[in-house]
Amino acid sequence: MDGGQNISWAKSPGQSAPASPRTAFTLTLLAVLAWGFSPIGTREMVGFGDSALPPVAFTGLRYALAGLILAPGLWRTRGWSGADWRLGILCGLIGVTGFNLPATIGQQTVSAGLTGLLDATEPLMIVAFTAAILRRAPSRWTFGAMFLGLAGIALLARGSGPTLGDPRGIFLILLGAMLWGLYCVLVTPLINKRGALPVTAVTVLAGAVPMVIVGAPQIPAMLAQMHALQWEVTSALVIGTSVGAMLCWNAGSAALGAQRAGWFLYLIPLVSLIGGAFLLGEPIKPVEIFGGALILFSVALSQK
């Protein structure tokens, strides 16, 4: 199966070799495992209620903190060309701002479970953008993995029972999923050329700036009202998903290729389902077990 690795540039002199297939697999899986819990934390922070935080201000704070943690990685951008910087900033605006801002606003009215299911459209977006850039139709293996993954997602949705979501929120989350798919395809060549750490630092910082600017009027009041539990959730989201998972994903997906790595995103709703069972005591239904098995098989098939 084509992993989108044809979309690449020459490696810079002195650039470290890409991760081995086993390491890339592990890093990508770790990223997806972390992201599986992200909708739960985000929904807890911005969902409608007395203690809900303003979504734009919260996202700005989250990525401002992530940018500060990653800022030392800018030291490794010495020698970047103007084209590298332009692509890095563009990817930050598309993948960090473009995904997180609409997704966080959408989660005001869309439940964490439904968000995980909607995010599972991201592999399809990656396939579509890869095919458009390469001007080549996906392979039969790709179509087979796509069908099985979608079938598994449909079974999870059927077994999840009523889910909360309005049309506006669903549209915003799907918009974020589309932009994330575009980010995954565009950023891969830059990571292969310059490395995961500096690219992650540039994209996160570039993506954080618009969110901080737009959310700035509400951030002081939000900081004054945040209590200890909200800071704990924010810290987990910053360190676990905005920094750790981004670094793992960028390193792993660059080695695997955007398309092969993209199939791992099907695991996000499955992780959310298992997390809900262990953390919240939510029962898992037989139809969900079968759906999860189909998702796992589709991911295995996609790696052939």
* Per-residue CA distances from 205 to 64, 196, 210 (Å): 7, 14, 10
Is the pLDDT confidence value at 9 over 50?
A: no
Q: Check: CB of residue 269 under 8 Å from CB of residue 120.
A: yes
3 state SS of 111: coil
The whole-number pLDDT of residue 275 equals: 67
**Of 32-46, 156-170, 172-186, 217-231, the least confident:** 156-170
The whole-number pLDDT of residue 300 equals: 64
The whole-number pLDDT of residue 96 equals: 96
223-231: list long-range contacts, CB under 8 Å, 24+ apart: 223/61, 225/53, 226/53, 227/51, 230/45, 230/51, 230/53
Looking at this protein, which amino acid is placed at residue 152?
G
> For all residues of the chain together, what is the average pLDDT?
82
What's the mean pLDDT in 127-132?
Answer: 83
Q: Check: CB of residue 199 under 8 Å from CB of residue 76.
A: no
The whole-number pLDDT of residue 299 equals: 63
**Taking the complete model, does pTM exceed 0.95, yes or no?**
no
- Kindly give, in sequence order, each residue whose CB lies less than 8 Å from that of residue 173, ignoring residues fewer than 6 positions away: 102, 103, 106, 107, 110, 115, 118, 119
Neighbours of 133 (CB within 10 A): 15
**Of 53-57, 233-237, 238-242, 276-280, the least confident:** 276-280
Please write the tens of the pLDDT for every residue from 71-95: 999 999 999 999 999 999 999 999 9
Q: Identify which has the larger pLDDT, 214 or 123.
A: 214
The pLDDT confidence band at residue 160, using thresholds 50, 70 and 90, is low
89-92: list long-range contacts, CB under 8 Å, 24+ apart: 89/202, 89/203, 89/206, 90/186, 91/183, 91/186, 91/187, 91/190, 91/199, 91/203, 91/206, 92/202, 92/203, 92/204, 92/205, 92/206, 92/207, 92/208
